[in-house]
Structure 1
Amino acid sequence: MNNYQNLTDDNRFRQVNGTESIQLQPEEPAVTQWRVSGSDDFVAHLLSLVGVPEGRPAIIAIDGRGGSGKTTLTAALTAAVPGAQAFHLDDLIWNEPLYDWDQLLVDTLTQLREAGCLDLVPDKWREHGREGSIRIPTGSPLVVVEGTGAGLRAVGSLIDAHVWVQTGDDVAERRGISRDIEEGVNGDAEESVRFWHWWMAGERTFFTKDRPWERADVIVSGDAPAGVEPGEIAWIPGPLLPR
């Protein structure tokens, strides 16, 4: 069953076709028809899902594979909401073992919900001499947690909305390798390719077990299909279930 197909039948939105030939995570269904709206309408939809929690910020998780477009979407969302804060998962899990940090994220989001703010120095920062802290000031209306695994199953009760960014293998790999070479974070070109193949293998193992698209409130195309203009977003309501 594709539970999203009927939900795209809304005359407020233009529709464009996706493609079923896209290479995704194991058992992740390809979206075959996207609804298209301006970013303002998309943001309004997300905010309608989270409401206005009392005494704490609303929390939206932007999840997706590396190179999917999560950071770009997060920047657009935080820019649209005055006072919104971006929480980059890569900062929290810096130097943590790959996909062995779920309790750290649970504890951090629990603290954020209870205190309404955050000023955290992760243990690995202290161990490796990284300065500063992860800060979410009091009174922030919205926190966007972005990163691979940001909406993992363990935090389902701690987030107010969950976005899954769907992007094909080839696009994500090309973006990730290009970005790493440009920033010089994983060595030279050959080392960057080797890192990304290792990274993508780890993603597949993680996502095969976690299947975040099956819990997502919204699915977003991380690689705009034909017919989507600058400033527009292709998306559908979630979750995305097996056919």
Structure 2
Amino acid sequence: MHDLAARVRRLGPSCGPVRLVAVDGHAGSGKSTFAGRLAQELDDAPVLRLDDIASHEELFDWTGRLLRQVIEPFGRGRTARYAPYDWRTRRFGPPRPLPPAPVVVVEGVGAGRRALRPHLALLLWMDLPREESWARGRARDGAEQRDFWDGWVRAERAHFADDPSRPFADLLVRQRPGGYEVLPGPSGTGVATTLLTHGDEPSSLW
């Protein structure tokens, strides 16, 4: 993780003064855990979770809200303010400040969508097949979330069919026993060597 963090620090700003680093992948692929550990290595960089931007009614139709609340303020060097969504009460909460730090990690399904890519310094894709990812997510959330997952899978299939992220990823992240393997991505802009970050246990969080 140290080597990857060093690479991120060498990148130029991509959104105003901010280096936006996106962690995308299928639901259940381990994005949240990986993003958190990368952010910790980056001197506790802020993590924006797209679960806070999406909602039941807009599983993927949240681009305009993210651009208005986060991307546009960052582009002007200002503190962003976004209203996190509460998935239990089904309503958005009070605005939360997000200062324009040197690095901000954005994690969630769709973090590498076409509308966001021009603002990204780096796009990482958690490289776990979708069926395996979804099985992990379903097992984590249990039977009470079965109906939600059925709807989610349909929505995710439709999203990536129209707006895929993996072909544009700079780096692919694969979980291995005891760590993560980081490989050059399909975009052809990734590092030329394999990095293995040690000391990270696999996780099913997303």
Structure 1 residues 201, 217: CA separation in 2 closer, same or farther (over 3 Å shift)? same
* Aligned mate of 1:195, from 148, 152, 157: 148
Determine if contact 2:48/2:107 at 8 Å carries over to the other structure. yes
The structure number with the bigger radius of gyration is 1
CA contact (8 A) 2:84 2:93 kept: no
The Cα shift of 1:239 comes to: 2.2
Counterpart for residue 203 of structure 2: none
After TM superposition, the structure 1 = structure 2 runs for residues 48-127 of structure 1, keeping only pairs within 5 Å, are 48=10, 50-52=11-13, 56-107=17-68, 108-121=70-83
1:205 maps to what in 2?
158
Match status 1:46 vs 2:8 = yes
Q: Distance in 2 between matches of 1:144 and 1:60?
A: 5
TM-score, scaled relative to structure 2: 0.77
**1:68 positional shift:** 0.8
Indicate conservation of the 8 Å contact 2:47/2:104, yes or no.
yes
Amino acid at match of 1:234: E
What's the CA shift for 1:83?
Answer: 4.3
Quote how far apart the aligned CAs of 1:71 are.
0.2
More RCO (CA 8 Å, sep 6+) = 1
- Structural RMSD (CA): 2.8
Shift of 1:122: 6.5
The aligned residue for residue 154 of structure 1 is 115
Q: Tell me the TM-score normalised to structure 1 length.
A: 0.67
Inter-partner Cα distance in structure 2 for 1:212 and 1:137: 26
Residue aligning to 1:144: 105
Aligned counterpart, 2:198: none
The aligned counterpart of 1:233 is: 180
Question: AA paired with 2:161?
Answer: T
Unpaired stretches in structure 2, ≥5 consecutive residues: 189-206
What letter matches 1:68 in structure 2? S
- Report the count of equivalent residues: 186
Decide whether the 8 Å contact of 1:177 with 1:192 is kept in 2: yes
Q: Residue 28 of structure 1 corresponds to which residue in structure 2?
A: none
Relative to 1, partners in 2 of residues 1:102 and 1:179: Cα closer, same or farther, differing over 3 Å? same
Task: Report the secondary structure of 1:163's partner residue.
Answer: strand
3-state SS of paired residue (1:157): helix
Among the aligned pairs, what percent are the same residue?
30
Residue 172 of structure 2 is aligned with which of 204, 219, 238? 219
